[in-house]
Amino acid sequence: MTASALYVGEVRHRRLGPQANEFSHPLSFLYADLAELPTLLGGRFVKPTPGVVRVRRRDLLGGADGPPTAVAVRQLIEERSGRPAPTGAIRVLTTPRTLGTAFNPLTLYYCFDEDEQLDSVVGEVTSTPWLKRHAYVLRASGDERVIRGEHAKVLHVSPFQDMDHRHVWAVTPPGESLSVHIENHRDEADSKDFDATLKLERQELTPENLRAAVRRHPAGALRTLALIYGHAAALKLRGAPHFSPPADPETETPEATMPTKLTKLTPAQSAARRAILAILGRLTTGQLELIEPDGRRHLLGPGGEPKATAQLNAPEAWTVLLQGSRGMGQGYMDGLWDSPELTDVVRLAARNVQVIDAVRRKIQAVRVPYQHLRGLRRKVTHDQGREDIHAHYDLGNDLFELMLDDTMMYSSGSFSTPDASLRDASIQKLELVCDKLDLGPGDRVLEIGAGWGGFAIHAATTRGCHVTTTTISVEQHAYAVGKVKEAGVEDLVTILLEDYRDLTGTYDRVVSLEMIEAVGWQDFPTFFKQCSDRLARDGAMLLQAITMDDRAYEVEKASNSFIREQIFPNGCLPSQAVIAECLHKQTDLRMAHHEDLTGDYVHTLHHWRKNIAASTEKLEELGYDERFRRLWTFYLCYCEGGFAERRIGVGQSLLAKPGWRGRVPATQIVGLAELEAAAAVPEAPVR
């Protein structure tokens, strides 16, 4: 049953004192749950076309360009009361527009908690001749029969009363009847100069009752204005003193914190602004303080952690941000917006991804089949693969030397303690890999994705293995060859400049540390088949891979995300289900052990980000301009926030051939049953 209704009754105004005056008149109110308003009576109240009865955003708290009305109400409660706003229903008592005209001397917002207990009442008052607005907040205890409150008078409502008053409120919760009583008391004498009383009875909201209410008051707003101005004229004729409004009054109810001058927006920017504020107004957890270029501030979200702040620097930010993560990255790179803690913005977005991505996901759901077919036709050729790797890994070894530790490991470390150094975490990760594969002297190891030679040098110097490692990055290859020579292990390490798909030979172990993400989803099966084919029958592979949520995989692989456009062209994160499916269909490898390192990546990225921030001058000297530095700052924060909220994860998987008899690590297997269950496909025959 709908909570919305009609309330019909009478309002009475009384002026006390020397120029006493009193009048009353009947009127009707709409009591509407804001969540129900768009669909009430078939959407009659919110139709964009002119009509007999309408409710427009500009008539409600926050105005036409502000955040959604419910967000504006909750924001106001928090600003005025200093406490979290209730998260339940918000229902407005208002006089709708009739025949296109609106005038509401008083609009009430009844704010409930999740248990349907009345928490607060917001009363927005509109001044008669100046049409300024101000809202007051009353705290309710939930079970009281009358909500009471007092406020200093802030808004100059009538030219026949000065500002030296306080408002005394008495409001009943909405039920079968509803009443509102407001008194104006003069401060110095504590004398009552004015009161207004509203007494209403509830009616079911039906088309018939609405038509009857309109017939009774066909021009409700015009009639109210006519009565007010008529009685004002009578008071003037009787010599009532006249008071002008205070100079430069700051009395309007803010959409947010109001600037002195609003930024002029283009129609596209204005539409984008409304759309973004509407989306952010539906945040279900956390809070975002959004600051517009002209200084307006919006508190969006129910409160709690994570809390984030975003400062828009130019009107162009609105249209760019509509493009999702791609727009966020592009806008930040171009200086269109900033944040004192960028990772918090990403975490807040990740925590509310279902709300923020709702529109994009609907569009992508339609695009997925098309993108899938296009992707199948567009295999990553050898030349394309070299171009993609060149775009990222050949940015310059100097850049990566400033960001990474001296092991040059560009993959998650393993932190024994949160305050461990980045280098210690890298060494511990390398030891984990060697231990899990039980590497020893004489073992023939193939590494797919050499990086700058960190793993190959470590395995050769600490375990005595023979390591063949490959990359298609020219700069990585040159650097790694130099490091191998410097370490004195040329007899144990061979650095190839070859595509992994062209590798031949048989090895005891295969290692791949966060290389699969650059393969492209079309070649995931090829990657795993090649790894399996290169292994001896009693061999094993250690795969460290960044993965995404299985439920997001189909949509994400079809999207043109920030990472894919700006950082890793044609890259794609696999999901655990996709990995499991490839193993079952393309190989005789089976998961022997899996360890989650997601929390470690948060620490790793934080170190990388700090290193970049501390190297501004050196980066400038090397020719990396501010736009590039902002791009990489966003990239690192984007990933850090994604791992912190586990929108993406990283883990080490020990994949064993049928003849593998090595020891399984004693560490706890994390999620192994889920990983195996993810691939509901028949086992392939043993090769």
What is the average pLDDT across 576-591? 96
Among 87-91, 388-392, 488-492, which is the least confidently predicted range? 388-392
pLDDT of residue 250: 40
> Which residue matches tokens 């917001």?
122
Tokens of residue 662, six digits:
């090595």
Other beta carbons within 10 Å of 582: 22
On whether the CB atoms of residues 147 and 173 are closer than 8 A, the answer is yes
Distance CA 498, CA 472 (A): 6
Task: Tell me the pLDDT band of 366, cut-offs 50, 70 and 90.
Answer: very low
Distance CA 197, CA 177 (A): 13
Q: What is the pLDDT of residues 105-153, one digit of tens each?
A: 889 999 998 889 999 999 998 876 556 788 889 988 766 788 988 877 7
Asked if pLDDT for residue 595 goes beyond 60, the answer is yes
Q: Is 639 a catalytic residue?
A: yes
Asked if pLDDT for residue 249 goes beyond 70, the answer is no
Asked if pLDDT for residue 641 goes beyond 90, the answer is yes
Other beta carbons within 10 Å of 424: 17
Q: What is the pLDDT of residues 179-218, one digit of tens each?
A: 999 988 875 556 788 888 999 999 999 999 988 888 876 6
The closest alpha carbon to 19, from 231, 245, 162, 246, belongs to 231
Among 434, 572, 582, 639, the one annotated catalytic: 639
What is the average pLDDT across 500-505? 96
Predicted TM-score (pTM) of this structure? 0.64
Asked if pLDDT for residue 659 goes beyond 90, the answer is yes
What is the average pLDDT across 279-304? 86
Q: What domains are defined for the chain?
A: 5-237 (no CATH), 267-356 (3.30.1050), 360-662 (3.40.50.150)
Listing DSSP states for 561-602 in one string gives -HIIIIISTT----BHHHHHHHHHHH-S-EEEEEEE-HHHHH
Q: What is the pLDDT of residues 392-428, one digit of tens each?
A: 555 778 999 999 999 999 999 999 998 999 999 999 9
Q: What is the pLDDT of residues 210-242, one digit of tens each?
A: 888 888 766 555 566 556 656 556 556 666 555
pLDDT of residue 437: 97
Name the CA radius of gyration of the chain, rounded: 33
